[in-house]
Amino acid sequence: MNMMPAAPLVKNRYAQDVDRALSLLPDDADVDRDTLSAAFLASPYACFLVDQDGRVLVFNRRAERLYCRPQADPQGGLRDIGLHKLTQLTHEELMAALRKGAASSSMELPMVTAHGASVVRPTLFRVALLRSSTLGRRLYLLTQDHLKAAAEALGQMNRRNVAARNDLAKIEERFVDLQASLMAMEAFAHKASHDLRTPLSTMSGMLQLFASRFGDGLPEKAHEYLNVMRRAAEQMDNLTCDFLEHARSVSAEVAAEPVNLRAMLEDVRRDLQNGLMSEDFTLQITCPTWTVMAEPTLLRMVLSNLLGNAIKYRHPDRKLYIDIALHADTNGTRTLTIADNGTGFDPEQAETIFLPFRRLHASVEGTGMGLSTCAEVCRRHGWTISAASDGEAGATFQIVFNNLCDS
């Protein structure tokens, strides 16, 4: 009820300001009441009419909302105060800025908002120099120049976008170079690993031939040396084979096709059971007949490595048990889990064991390339592989497929 009369009072107060502003302008000024009323009563930008001493004569509602202090006179508002008090400038600095602004038609002032002296906003104003017929002096008309500020901000944004596009082009160029270098390194690793096998095979053959022909006349110490050399040659041959396999996993084309996951698991199990007694371990496959989009050779490589590791790292005091299961989540994601009751590994190595040359146990022979190869194959197919262990009760490996299809 008490708020209703306030609107006409405010309007009348600003109407008085319009009358006062008109009285300060010369009779021949190209400003009428409607134009001035629109500028001071409806303008969304802060406007001030300032005399040549820097004193605020007229202001509009936007200026009052932004810069009028709560303790100010509710009737007078900003009228008759020095404009420098709304800034961080001294009176002399403000007057110098006004003179320069009138010459260039624009100026920037460090305006202090009404919400506290700590809130300072550099504000751009358009400056017009007017004549006063009653005061016989010049007046400054200041209007916030949001359009110019917006144009400058847009220009800065465009410049940043151009710089970002240039940076992106450079990054893409470097990525292409890096990809070419990576492909060259992969090709070199593949060729080097392949070429190393020939002299290694020759060395192993010559060692065996030497032992068979001259072994009877050699002392026991010489036989020990020969055995050390044969084991070193075998280890080097295994390493080059793993390098070849890893290079193939990185460089081979992923020509994905539907593969029966359960059938491939059965094939891998039969291969691993060769040379092992059935009572040595139990391998259970709880897996429906699902098909996965994969390159068959690379998928077989992953399964062989994971199941081979389970056999390699079996616990000496208990019969090995391997459980293979494929289960689906509520969102349709399917996960292949390979769990064993072997020696396991340090839980802190759950991430690092997929890096090259990271061996689970130093006491077990290996090159440390198998799990790295598995991780690379999964990455290229868009799958996710992870490992978990408590260090005592075995290890669990999981592969999350995102490209299975119902058979």
pLDDT in tens, 368-382: 677 888 888 888 888
In a domain, 164, yes or no: no
Q: Which residue has the tokens 């208990």?
A: 318
Domain that holds residue 194: 170-251
Quote the number of domains for the chain: 3
Residue 17 pLDDT level (bands cut at 50, 70, 90): low
If asked whether residues 74 and 86 sit together in one domain, one would say yes
Between CA 268 and CA 305 the distance in angstroms is 10
In a domain, 325, yes or no: yes
8 Å CB contact between 233 and 203: yes
Write out the two tokens for 291: 């098909």
In a domain, 154, yes or no: no
We report the CATH number of the domain holding residue 314 as 3.30.565.10
Over the stretch 289-342, which tens digit does the pLDDT of each residue have? Answer: 788 888 888 888 889 889 888 888 888 888 888 898 888 777 777 889 999 988
Residue 4 pLDDT level (bands cut at 50, 70, 90): very low
Of 251, 274, 298, the one marking the end of a domain is 251
In a domain, 20, yes or no: yes
Between CA 272 and CA 300 the distance in angstroms is 12
Separation in Å, CA 171 to CA 160, 163, 164, 175, 380: 16, 12, 10, 6, 22
Of 251, 273, 301, the one marking the end of a domain is 251
pTM assigned to the model: 0.46
Of 144, 161, 190, the one marking the end of a domain is 144
70-74, 171-175, 285-289, range with greatest mean pLDDT: 171-175
In a domain, 200, yes or no: yes
We report the CATH number of the domain holding residue 135 as 3.30.450.20
Sheet architecture: strand order including 404-405: 257-260, 291-294, 404-405
If asked whether residues 131 and 53 sit together in one domain, one would say yes
If asked whether residues 10 and 22 sit together in one domain, one would say yes
If asked whether residues 177 and 311 sit together in one domain, one would say no
Q: Is a pLDDT exceeding 70 seen at residue 65? A: yes
If asked whether residues 260 and 126 sit together in one domain, one would say no
